[in-house]
Amino acid sequence: MFSSSTLIFDTSKKGILSLYRTVLKEGNKFPKEIQRTFVKQKASTMFRKDVPPQELEDAFRLALTHIDNIRAQVETHRKLYADDRLSPEDLERIRKEELERESQRYRDEEKQGWDN
Per-block average pLDDT, block size 10, for the chain (116 residues)?
55 85 92 90 88 84 91 84 69 86 84 66
Same domain, 37 and 79: yes
Same domain, 32 and 46: yes
* pLDDT at res. 1: 46
Same domain, 41 and 95: no
Same domain, 65 and 109: no
Dihedral pair phi/psi, residue 32, rounded to 5°: -110, 140
Same domain, 24 and 77: yes
Same domain, 60 and 110: no
Same domain, 12 and 37: yes
The one-letter amino acid code at 114 reads W
What is the rounded CA–CA span in Å between residue 24 and residue 109? 46
Give the domain range for residue 92.
87-116
Number of structural domains, the chain? 2
Same domain, 60 and 95: no
Same domain, 42 and 6: yes
